[in-house]
Structure formats: structure tokens, C-alpha cells
Structure 1
């Protein structure tokens, strides 16, 4: 794969390199010709040969982060900050979410500014601007209305990074999929692997989703675009999908029929609300990201939703 424009000689720090998304970013950026410093809390099991060097990421809830980040940034010309808590574990105080996702992000941005690092990409989330559903497609100018501790911590990260580095680029992905995906997409994959027909045909809620490969493509794209500096972008694979369409795509990727049974929408929604009230919004209602802003600059996904969902099933 050809290097992105402007990539020659650029060293990029990727934080969270041991996670699902961070590992995908490291591999994709190295393939594009960047030299990658892959920072993780634990030793990385495998690294792409040649252009990737491991580094130790400090405890993001710890103290003295400015100095630790400054040392980590020596010789770095760009930062992709993907580390953090992806959800609020049971029993975890919200102050810890704020420390890890917001305060540590601000510290890294401050260290980057002092080091003269010219490019900084923060991986945020659609949950920084919305709860699990929205009646309207979300643009970057939507008034932020996070509904949980995770979303509030991601919004705080955006604001504090922007204060430290006004030229930072913020990317807001929706739920992520691809080989090794976790959370709700992993749960859907387990359902898709079951042999039984599933009564999801009446779930009309449409969701934007994004593959890890498309996140990496977006990161490489904005790093090479001076006109992306200081902007926030929403990302999506393409057309939003219902839960039934997602599971159908997963099953078709492994040579099985979709096996989605249609029930009346009202009945399906009542069943979901009773059996899984915490997931009712995510399963029954829309959350669509409008990604027209980054597409206007020329970005296009490199992978369809069906292809990424298929990788998740086979991975």
C-alpha cells in the first residue's frame, strides 16, 4: 500500500496500541509508510516488522503525566490518541472516567504543544454528542448532549484537547466493527453465530457503524490534509443499517442465510424493552452520523460495512 501524502519520514505516536482499534491503527499506518511508536500499558504480542517500535504508555489515571508524555513524545511529529476507557465498567467512579479520558488527553495535548508536535488526532466518539439514539442525523455542529459518564468524559476530552491544541483534529466514530471488535458488536456476532432464526425483522432503528479499517483510513487521510487542522469530523462506513441487516450480513459472510424473522415492529419493541431495557434505544431507534464534512475533503471508506462485519465473523 502506498504511503499517504506527506508521510515520508514522519514518526507517529499511537496510544492504546494494545487495544482493538489501536492495533488496527498501528498496522494500517505502518503499511502506509509511517514510522509508528506503538504505546501500550502491556507488552505488545506482535508488531508489524520494520516500521513499528514499542513504547510503554503510563497509567492514564496516574500522576506526573506531563513529564511522562514529554519523554514519550521525543522525536515524534504526530500523535494519534486512541487510548482510554471505551465504556464505564461496573462500579467505576465517574471521576476515574474523567481522569483517564479527559485529563490524560489534555496532558498529552499539552506535552505535544510544548514539544512542538505539529499534528494531533484525538479519537473521540459519537457518544460525546448524543445518547444511544437520536431522532435526527448528527452533524458536527449538533449541540452536545451526552447521556452517560462515558460520553461526558469524551466530550470533556474534546474540549480540553482543543484548549491545549486548537489545531488538533477530532474524529467521532460510531460503534466499531472488524476482526476482534468488542462490546455490543461482539454480542451481535455471537447471536449471528447461533443456529436459530432471530426475530429482529421488526427492529427498524438504523445505526451508523464504522470498521477499524475505515478509522485507520480516516486517520491517515486527515494527517495528510492541512485543511483538516482544527476540525471535528464524524465518520461512518456508509448507509446506516438495522440490527437485522447487520446480523444478516454477518451470516451471509460465512455462507449462511440471514435467518431474520419479521414480527410487528410494536411487538418487537415491547419485547426488547422488557427483556433488555438497557439496549432498547440502541436496538429500536436511530443513531445516524452525517459524515458529509470529511467526505467533502475527499475521504472515502476503503471497506464496506458488509466486508468489515464479515471479517469480524471470520476473525
Structure 2
């Protein structure tokens, strides 16, 4: 029996059908509405909040493996408290519930944001590529966004569980690509290309195919006896402008052509912050999103490939697949 949180999210929506296809019994948590997922027949849905420890203890009866995919991704300043509630308190509740059921194996979906980023070395050029992996240390003295902090603290909850005897692994994906809701997650990047916007920021983006994420989670959790480990999942890096151009080409649309300079992005996020404070509206761009990818980062993901024997799909193949599926849905 497999228990899944976050079934309506990008990872969960691909993970649950993959589990069902293996002939496994699946129980999944939902909040407001049961997700409509192709290939998810026979799933037992449980309504509740991921922070409800008592509900989770009941839901885990008879369960052997837990995939904790639920989480909030936001860079808006007004979501700081919600990030702590969902990502940190939610993970703590999952860990506590698992500890009440000895023998359960847990796989938690973290993020490369939890790595924190390496500190800038003295005398190192500003455009020098940062290379990060599972051994990168969280810099307690550096400035971190609310989302990154929440994912780091969530990982600490899993490490707490491991210290108390829980069998668990964590996966840290970069930006996960998959054909999902236009309005949510990374799929908004494809919507941006579809809408033929002129502007783009000159930074880079690290991405991974959702199918690779699911395959590696299944291998690490169901097939291998590994525990007390975390794994970076990243299929490659490319400039954001190139990503948008590839997506636009797949859609038959015009690519963005005007790079927004750093000084303009700095001014825009400040104006958006002021607008949000005055009107209560959500900012279209925040300090974190304006500065994301400005300094080149590359994530080493050799550890998970060596552990699982699985390789990542080429990024152009993933972009093409996403565009094809999104066009088909439209």
C-alpha cells in the first residue's frame, strides 16, 4: 500500500498513475477536490490537511511506502507564513505519522533550493558558474528566500525522522517540466512562450523531466535499500532565452527577442512590491524571481544516476514532449 500527498501537483499527477500501472494499491491525500487523473482508477482518496498528524496516522494504516509530494512553491512575500505551514509543518506531520508506523519508507520531494547555493568566493568573477551537489552546505549567514528556507527546514524534519529510525530518502529536483495546468508551476513558462511575449531575462535555468523525477523516485524508494540520502535531480541547464525560443518554435510562435537588463528588473520588482503593498494584489515579479538565474548555476546529478542506473532525458526532448502534450490539450 502506497500513500501519496500532493496528488494534484505536477509530480503527484504522474507518480500516482505510475504506481497504479505497477499494480500497487494507492491511497492519496487531497484537500478540496479529488484530482481527475488518467490511469488512476482504484485510488483510495482521503480528504484532509497535510498538517493533521492524527488524520495522517489513520491514513497510514497498512501503508508500506509514503511519497510526500505536497508542497507550496511561491516567491511572493505575503506567502512566507504559508510556506512554513505547508512545507515545514506539513513535512513534520508526515514524519511524525511515519514514525508511528515502524517499517514505513518515506520519499520526500525537496528542491535544489534547499541546497542554499555556494557562497561567493573572494576574488571570484560575478559570472563564474556555481557548481552545486548534495554536499553543498547551507550558508546560515547568507540571505535566502522564503521558499528556499522552507524547503531546507523541511529537509531538517526528515533528517530528524531518520535520526529516530525512519527509513527515508529525499530528492531535490531543479525546475520540473511537464504538461500540466497553464496557470501553475513551471508550465507557466510554456504559456509565456505560447503568448509570444517580447521580453526575457538573460539568466539561466536548470530543468528536469517530470517522468525522470518519477522514475528515479520509484527506483530509490521501492527497489533500492538506500536510506538517509538525498539526491539532486537535474537534467541540464540552458539560458532562459534559449528555453523560451525552443518552446516557441515547438508551438509555431515567435520567440522573445528583447533581453531585460538587470537594472530594469531591479526597478520592476520594486515597483511591483509597492503595488502589492498598496493594493493587496500579488506581485507579478518579486525580488527572488527577478534575480533568479542571474548568476550561472549548474547542479551535479551524477549521484542519482550512479545509484539508480537511470539517465536523464535530453532537455530538447523534454521541451518538445511538453509542447506536444500541451498543444494536444488545447
TM-score by structure 2 length? 0.77
Q: What is aligned with 1:69?
A: 56
SS of alignment partner, residue 252 of structure 1: helix
Q: What is aligned with 1:305?
A: 315
TM-score by structure 1 length? 0.80
SS of alignment partner, residue 165 of structure 1: helix
**Cα-to-partner distance string for 1:184-239 (whole Å, 9 max, x where unaligned):** 6344323311346x465x82x332111221211111110134343110000012x3
Structure 1 distance, partners of 2:34, 2:61, is: 20
Q: What is aligned with 2:169?
A: 169
Q: Which among 143, 155, 158 is matched to residue 155 of structure 2?
A: 158
Q: 1:52 to 1:287 in 2, by over 3 A?
A: farther
Structure 2 distance, partners of 1:283, 1:232, is: 23
Q: Is the 8 A contact 1:80 1:120 kept in 2?
A: yes
Q: What is aligned with 1:8?
A: none
What is the CA-CA distance between 1:255 and the residue it aligns to? 4.1
Q: What is aligned with 1:4?
A: none
Q: Which among 89, 92, 95 is matched to residue 103 of structure 1?
A: 89
Structure 2 distance, partners of 1:183, 1:107, is: 25
**Does 1:191 pair with 2:192?**
yes
Structure 2 distance, partners of 1:106, 1:18, is: 21
What is the CA-CA distance between 1:22 and the residue it aligns to? 1.5
Q: Which among 251, 272, 288 is matched to residue 298 of structure 2?
A: 288
What is the CA-CA distance between 1:83 and the residue it aligns to? 1.0
Consecutive unaligned residues of structure 1, counting only runs of 5 or more, are 1-10
Q: Is the 8 A contact 1:13 1:38 kept in 2?
A: yes
What is the CA-CA distance between 1:131 and the residue it aligns to? 6.0
Q: Which among 16, 39, 56 is matched to residue 26 of structure 1?
A: 16
Structure 2 distance, partners of 1:276, 1:189, is: 22
Q: Is the 8 A contact 2:117 2:132 kept in 1?
A: no
Q: What is aligned with 2:125?
A: none
Structure 2 distance, partners of 1:157, 1:49, is: 30
What is the CA-CA distance between 1:308 and the residue it aligns to? 2.9
Q: 1:35 to 1:243 in 2, by over 3 A?
A: same
1:228-247 pair list within 5 angstroms: 228-237=226-235, 239-247=236-244
1:1-315 pair list within 5 angstroms: 11-48=1-38, 52-61=42-51, 65-87=52-74, 91-94=78-81, 96-130=82-116, 135-145=129-139, 147-166=144-163, 167-180=167-180, 185-195=186-196, 198=198, 200=200, 203=202, 205-237=203-235, 239-255=236-252, 259=255, 261=257, 268-276=261-269, 278=287, 279-301=289-311, 303-313=313-323, 314-315=325-326
Higher mean C-alpha deviation, range 294-303 or range 12-21 = 294-303
Structure 1 distance, partners of 2:62, 2:13, is: 21
Q: Is the 8 A contact 1:106 1:160 kept in 2?
A: yes
Q: Is the 8 A contact 2:178 2:187 kept in 1?
A: no
Q: Is the 8 A contact 1:218 1:299 kept in 2?
A: no
SS of alignment partner, residue 127 of structure 1: helix
Structure 1 distance, partners of 2:76, 2:265, is: 23
Structure number having the greater strand percentage: 2
Structure 1 distance, partners of 2:264, 2:119, is: 18
Consecutive unaligned residues of structure 2, counting only runs of 5 or more, are 121-128, 271-286
Q: Is the 8 A contact 1:60 1:99 kept in 2?
A: no
